[in-house]
Amino acid sequence: MAIIKPGDIVVRKSYGGDIYFKVLEVKNGTCTLKGMDVRLLADSPLDDLEVKGAEEIFMHRHETIKLNLSCLRRIRSFRSLNRVKYEDLRYRAGKDTVDFFDVPGRVLHLDGDEEYLNKCLENYMQLNVPVEGFHIPESEQPKVVQKLIREYRPDILVLTGHDAVVKGIKDFTDLNSYRHSKYFVEAVKKARELNNDLDDLIIFAGACQSHYEEILRAGANFASAPQRVLIHAFDPVFIVEKIAYTPINETISIKDIIQQTITGDDGVGGVQTRGKYRLGYPKSPY
């Protein structure tokens, strides 16, 4: 058996090699693993792991990129349809379209995983969503969220990282059955102490297998995971883009916004929410 060390890419044989993980730590015959594409933390005995070679890792990443690009194309298609509505608003305003400018919702994203945060920031940039992002461990998010909200005054708050149902647990209603859900719940409550209006400050919170119902009860607009499944690293970004570019006078279609994600409605859900997009006028020549 190959010697497994931190940084190796592995799969779990007992799960049929369904998820690619990066090894974070090896201790006493057990590895701590982080999903490469899903927001999952897991523990595994060494003898259940298979190290993947460079060619297999390349092919896996290639398929992941294809999936991500497919979602980005779908989002741009949605935005093109919305653009027709925006142009109609401009036309009815009686002004030349060049006089108007876009004001999408502003995002504050706290992520427990620095690597995933950087990938999300790249996607926000591609989608022209204004964002401030910070690598904050899940346990620290409740401690800093109010300070960052006061400083950056976001329209949309995203609280993500890693999570999982504790192995062997069968009571999915108990918050203590989850690795990090209690921190997401606490952070949402702290945010709502500052702003309790669900249409003024829109919140997405959660990760893989998170306690969906408790996060929503705490005050989130959108959360994971209704069926306690794994969610893709970029699902929060795709939901946020829809919120940021839906006009403020429109209620977001929950079904449409969930269909834009990679995971779908098993992994993400929420409540009726208004968009955060505004038209600005006039457009400055500078």
CATH of the domain at 66: 3.40.50.280
Whole-model pTM?
0.84
CA dihedral 169, 117, 244, 263 (to 10 degrees): -40
Mean pLDDT (whole number) for 194-204: 97
Kindly tell me the sign of the dihedral angle through the C-alpha atoms of 215, 217, 222, 224.
positive
d(CA 116, CA 161): 8
d(CA 147, CA 74): 35
Same domain, 18 and 110: no
Kindly tell me the sign of the dihedral angle through the C-alpha atoms of 162, 160, 77, 129.
negative
Are 276 and 243 in contact, with CB atoms under 8 Å apart?
yes
User: Which pLDDT belongs to residue 88?
Assistant: 57
Residue 99 in any domain: the answer is yes
Same domain, 37 and 77: no
Residue 271 in any domain: the answer is yes
Residue 3 in any domain: the answer is no
User: The domain containing residue 20 runs over which residues?
Assistant: 9-52
Are 73 and 98 in contact, with CB atoms under 8 Å apart?
no
Q: What does pLDDT average to over the chain?
A: 86
208-255 pLDDT per residue, tens: 899 999 999 999 999 999 999 888 888 899 899 989 999 899 998 888
Percentage with pLDDT > 90 across the chain:
45
Low-confidence winner among 6-10, 162-166, 192-196, 280-284 (lowest mean pLDDT): 280-284
Residue 286 in any domain: the answer is no
d(CA 169, CA 30): 19
Same domain, 164 and 267: yes
Mean pLDDT (whole number) for 277-281: 86
Domain count, the chain: 2
Same domain, 27 and 163: no
Band (pLDDT 50/70/90 cuts) for residue 192 is very high
Percentage with pLDDT > 70 across the chain:
87
Residue 285 in any domain: the answer is no
With residue 22 as reference, give the H or E element that holds it.
Answer: strand 21-27
Low-confidence winner among 10-19, 133-142, 174-183, 270-279 (lowest mean pLDDT): 10-19
Residue 1 in any domain: the answer is no
Same domain, 41 and 134: no
d(CA 83, CA 92): 14
User: Which pLDDT belongs to residue 180?
Assistant: 95
Length of the chain: 286
Same domain, 204 and 227: yes
User: Which pLDDT belongs to residue 277?
Assistant: 92
Same domain, 274 and 243: yes
53-109 pLDDT per residue, tens: 888 877 877 676 666 666 666 666 655 555 545 555 555 555 555 577 889 999 999
Same domain, 18 and 125: no
Same domain, 141 and 26: no
